[in-house]
């Protein structure tokens, strides 16, 4: 495949792949053929369109070799699984370049135009799952060749045969192959001779579908805003049902999407409880939604549903809201993307008679189809030490808080980066190596309402809290006689009251969840051995250690472990070790400012500069199962500076 054609393939793939109204959870497909039509590059199976590049995410196939599959009479005699395995083997044999698994749609793309785009456009699927042919008749302009309508057909080999036959009939009737194909309960296909024309054609028909529904769409009626108690009760109920069925806890999310939340208030809840709309919905949100009349019956409903072969990942609670759940943060994002699309599809279709879901037989095909199991498996599941855990870190925009938050993400946890510095928290979270497991949250640890609101955001976003690290702090360095009262009080507010408010909220949630938990208080070597000219810091860091010990005794019966980490001097990225603080330290020690950091490093037995990652590693250990019998302990990470405990 020539570089220009590949560049066009990547261009159209990224153009539609980044738009959630067209593509959800990596669905959809694209392809482009060589000038002579003998070679075709097509997106590899399971690869998100937006992740394709010139070097990965596509396979090149020999088109005549692919098309020869239509001459194979043996396929019609095989059982479904054997037939689809033979089809895949045939496609593999036709591969001439690229990487990955050939798409199940390879033969389908081979029979269409030079450039092909297949998406699961929300507006187009409102047609496909709703009025169908009637809508297409209304949005086709006079004198224009109409789109080809394909009633729902099981994807894979059967769909390719159906479209081939229907396209040949279309050509006999209209004199050319179809350039626009609507597939019942599936998606939209467009084909053109140029990449830009194909993009324009796709946009044109998606917009026509949107315009068809817009005039009759009812306003969104969202459930009333949930109070803290109701929100937490609902998310605990999801955890309980999952735990009783699987012995673990899920990630869960109370959606804020208007269309999806509204389902809890109308008859569409019954539609989704009866079945899913498209193959992708079955793969990512299950064969149907859980429908509960109240929060109290939610755990039992979820427990029962999780025993099914294609278990739900969406629960609708009447007049409360819609909740997504999954065993992995990445799968939760995929489930929400598809569930949101379902809400939007049904909202539009309601304006033109309503939507209909897949038949039980069609759903059963998808549930048992190896190709869809393959796609789902590509999402994977984290296997790191803290995989499946939800963590909240205060002071996470900078300094040790940032280092600890990053370390928890690297250990597999989903981490809320909490700070009063909203821009800093957002920047830190978005720069993480696993952005899908980060969440910036505003929190003022000195404000009771702000702390509660931040915890509610995390509970709503991920379903609960398993790990809490109190790392927000200040260190006003003054001689006793010069210490300003307002800074003394501020240190008490942040370093003690802040720890108390955060720990209290965490304990309330963890106790209600019934899953135990881990709390870490970030103290300091100054909490063990006082330093000069540091009254507020000494007092608060020592106080944190005693709070930790008392809370460890108090919460141990709930399986909640409370420990502390006491770092030595960590200079990397520190707001405490700012130029003014270094000048103060230099004056205190009678040395030059540039000599301060080497001086403190040389105080340690190891003569080693302590990094944020060293402190983060200690926190990760204390939060992991490796420390399951450790509570009320202070782990000192100071290079051997303080030897008296």
Its pTM stands at 0.91
pLDDT of residue 367: 92
pLDDT of residue 381: 66
**How many CB atoms are located within 10 Å of the residue 450 CB?**
16
pLDDT of residue 449: 98
| Domain topology for 228-378 | L-fuculose-1-phosphate Aldolase (3.40.225)
pLDDT of residue 645: 47
CATH 3.40.50.720, domain 390-570+609-637, yes or no:
yes
Decide whether 3-216 matches 390-570+609-637 in CATH topology. Answer: no
H or E segment to which residue 421 belongs: none
pLDDT of residue 380: 64
pLDDT of residue 600: 87
Report the alpha-carbon distance of residue 63 to residue 110 in Å, rounded: 6
Q: What dihedral angle (degrees, nearest 10) is formed by the CA atoms of 119, 124, 130, 136?
A: -130
Query: Helical H runs in 482-578?
Result: 485-492, 498-513, 535-555
Burial class (CB in 10 A: 0-12, 13-18, 19+), 530: middle
Which of 537, 581, 599, 600 is an active site residue? 537
Q: What is the CATH number that goes with domain 3-216?
A: 3.40.225.10
Each domain of the chain, given as residue ranges in start order, spans: 3-216, 228-378, 390-570+609-637
CB contact at 8 A, 577 and 534: no
Report the alpha-carbon distance of residue 145 to residue 139 in Å, rounded: 11
Facing residues of 566 across strands? 636
Q: Tens digit of pLDDT for each residue in 224-274?
A: 789 999 999 999 999 999 999 999 999 999 999 999 999 998 999 999 999
Our answer to whether residue 537 is catalytic in this structure is yes
DSSP letter (8 states) at residue 494: I
Burial class (CB in 10 A: 0-12, 13-18, 19+), 141: exposed
Q: How far is CA 9 from the centre of its chain?
A: 26
Report the alpha-carbon distance of residue 562 to residue 630 in Å, rounded: 8
Low-confidence spans in the chain with pLDDT less than 50 = 645
């Amino acid at each position: 495949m020539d570089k220009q054609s590949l560049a066009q393939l990547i261009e159209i793939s990224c153009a539609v792949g980044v738009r959630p109204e067209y593509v959800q959870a990596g669905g959809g497909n694209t392809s482009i053929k060589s000038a002579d039509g003998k070679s075709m590059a097509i997106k590899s199976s399971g690869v998100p369109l937006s992740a394709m590049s010139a070097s990965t995410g596509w396979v090149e196939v020999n088109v005549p070799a692919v098309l020869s599959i239509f001459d194979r009479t043996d396929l019609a005699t095989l059982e479904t699984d054997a037939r689809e395995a033979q089809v895949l083997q045939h496609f593999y044999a036709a591969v001439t370049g690229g990487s990955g698994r050939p798409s199940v749609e390879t033969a389908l793309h081979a029979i269409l135009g030079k450039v092909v785009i297949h998406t699961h456009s929300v507006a187009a699927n409102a047609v496909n799952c709703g009025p169908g042919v009637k809508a297409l008749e209304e949005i086709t302009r006079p004198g224009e060749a109409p789109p080809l309508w394909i009633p729902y057909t099981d994807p894979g080999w059967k769909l390719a045969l159906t479209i081939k036959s229907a396209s040949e009939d279309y050509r006999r009737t209209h004199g050319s192959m179809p350039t626009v194909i609507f597939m019942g309960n599936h998606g939209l296909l467009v084909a053109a001779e140029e990449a830009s024309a194909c993009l324009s054609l796709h946009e044109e028909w998606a917009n026509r579908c949107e315009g068809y529904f817009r005039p009759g769409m009812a306003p969104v009626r969202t459930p009333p805003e949930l109070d803290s108690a109701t929100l937490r009760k609902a998310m605990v109920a999801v955890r309980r049902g999952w735990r009783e069925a699987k012995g673990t806890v899920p990630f869960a999310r109370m959606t804020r999407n208007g269309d999806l939340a509204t389902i809890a208030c109308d008859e569409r809840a019954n539609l989704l409880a009866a079945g899913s709309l498209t193959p992708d919905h079955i793969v990512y949100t299950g064969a149907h939604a859980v429908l509960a009349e109240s929060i109290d019956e939610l755990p039992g409903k979820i427990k029962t549903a999780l025993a099914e072969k294609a278990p739900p990942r969406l629960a609708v609670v009447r007049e409360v809201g819609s909740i997504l759940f999954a065993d992995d943060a990445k799968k939760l994002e995929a489930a929400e993307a598809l569930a949101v699309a379902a809400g939007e599809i049904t909202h539009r279709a309601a304006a033109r008679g309503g939507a209909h879901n897949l038949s039980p037989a069609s759903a059963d095909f998808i549930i048992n189809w190896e190709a869809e199991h393959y796609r789902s498996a590509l999402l994977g599941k984290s296997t790191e030490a803290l995989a499946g855990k939800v963590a909240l870190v205060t002071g996470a925009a900078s300094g040790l808080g940032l280092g600890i938050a990053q370390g928890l993400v690297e250990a597999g946890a989903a981490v809320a980066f909490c700070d009063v510095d909203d821009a800093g928290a957002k920047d830190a979270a978005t720069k993480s190596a696993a952005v899908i497991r980060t969440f910036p949250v505003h929190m003022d640890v000195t404000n009771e309402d702000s702390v509660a609101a931040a915890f509610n955001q995390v509970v709503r976003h991920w379903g609960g809290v398993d790990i809490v690290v109190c790392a927000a702090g200040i260190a006003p360095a003054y001689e006793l006689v010069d210490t300003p009262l307002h800074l003394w009080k501020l240190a008490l507010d942040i370093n003690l009251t802040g720890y108390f408010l955060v720990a209290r909220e965490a304990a309330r949630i963890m106790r209600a969840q019934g899953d135990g938990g881990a709390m870490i208080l970030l103290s300091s070597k100054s909490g063990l051995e006082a330093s000069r000219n540091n009254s507020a810091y000494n007092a608060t860091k020592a106080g944190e250690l005693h709070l930790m010990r008392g809370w460890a005794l108090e919460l141990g019966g709930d399986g909640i472990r409370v420990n502390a980490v006491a770092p030595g001097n960590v200079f990397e990225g520190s707001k405490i070790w700012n130029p003014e603080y270094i000048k103060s330290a230099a004056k205190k020690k009678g040395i030059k400012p540039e000599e301060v950091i080497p001086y403190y490093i040389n105080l340690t037995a190891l003569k080693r500069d302590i990094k944020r990652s060293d402190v983060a590693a200690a926190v990760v250990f204390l939060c992991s199962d490796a420390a399951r019998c450790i509570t009320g302990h202070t782990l000192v990470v100071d290079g051997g500076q303080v030897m008296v405990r």
